Amino acid sequence: MIRPSRSALAFLFIFLLATLLAAAPAFSVAVDETPLADPRAEAEAREIMKGIRCLVCQNQSIEDSNADLAKDLRQIVRERVAAGDGEKEVQDFLRARYGDWILLKPPFRTRTLPLWIGPFVILALGATGLFIANRRRAADGGPEGLSDEEQQLLDVIEGEDEG
């Protein structure tokens, strides 16, 4: 079996470490973007971005997505905010192009009603079921006591223990 030399191992270690370090900047989001000059407006824009779905990565918001389209949409959000738009106007602008799906939080509508109240309906059904089952058990009078025969047997067993 060929054994790698010590220097080769050292080289490999340094190489891996270097690769790892070189990859680190990839985690920092949006380095090439210019935030808005006004920190308050930038904070508002960021808050709006958190509610906008990234169309490429789907369950991520555009605020923490690295996708190209997310970057473009962030730029648009910033422009809109700088032009004086509020959250609703920005959302309407994007919804006119991509539909409700662009919002991470679905709007409350007739179509989305099951989505919003469904969990509560299921919870209520479960609670009702549990309630009925409990009441029925109570009406049964619970488990019966021991029969005479069982009692005698139990006495014998307990007697053995003492003796």
Partner 1 sequence: MKPIYAIPLLLFVMVGLALMVGLTLRPSEIPSALIGRAVPEFSLPPLDPTAQELSSESLRDGKIKLLNVFASWCGPCRIEHPFLMELQRQSVTIHGLNYKDLEDDARRFLNELKSPYTLIGKDKDGRVGIDWGVSGVPETFVVDGQGRILYQHIGPLNRQAVEQQIAPLLKGRKK
Rule CB under 8 A: say whether 30 interacts with partner 1.
no
Rule CB under 8 A: say whether 139 interacts with partner 1.
no
Both tokens of 43, joined, read 């904070």
Q: Are 111 and 73 in contact (CB under 8 A)?
A: no
Binding segment toward partner 1, per CB under 8 A, in 12-20, 44-52, 95-103, 142-150: 95-103
Both tokens of 136, joined, read 């029925």
- Taking the C-alpha atoms of residue 57 and residue 100, their distance in angstroms, rounded to an integer, is 16
- Taking the C-alpha atoms of residue 107 and residue 101, their distance in angstroms, rounded to an integer, is 9
Determine which residue in the list 39, 99, 141, 145 makes contact with partner 1, applying CB under 8 A: 99
- Taking the C-alpha atoms of residue 143 and residue 11, their distance in angstroms, rounded to an integer, is 75
Rule CB under 8 A: say whether 116 interacts with partner 1.
no
Which residues sit opposite 140 in a β-bridge? none
Rule CB under 8 A: say whether 131 interacts with partner 1.
no
CB of 135 to partner 1, least distance (A): 14
Determine which residue in the list 32, 68, 160, 161 makes contact with partner 1, applying CB under 8 A: 68
Determine which residue in the list 21, 96, 139, 156 makes contact with partner 1, applying CB under 8 A: 96
CB of 72 to partner 1, least distance (A): 5
Q: Which of 28, 37, 38, 35 is nearest to 49 (CA)?
A: 35
Rule CB under 8 A: say whether 73 interacts with partner 1.
yes
Rule CB under 8 A: say whether 88 interacts with partner 1.
no
Both tokens of 75, joined, read 């730029």
Rule CB under 8 A: say whether 37 interacts with partner 1.
no
Q: Which of 10, 89, 77 is nearest to 44 (CA)?
A: 77
- Taking the C-alpha atoms of residue 115 and residue 118, their distance in angstroms, rounded to an integer, is 5
CB of 35 to partner 1, least distance (A): 19
Binding site for partner 1 (CB under 8 A): 55-56, 58, 68-69, 72-73, 76, 95-99, 101-102
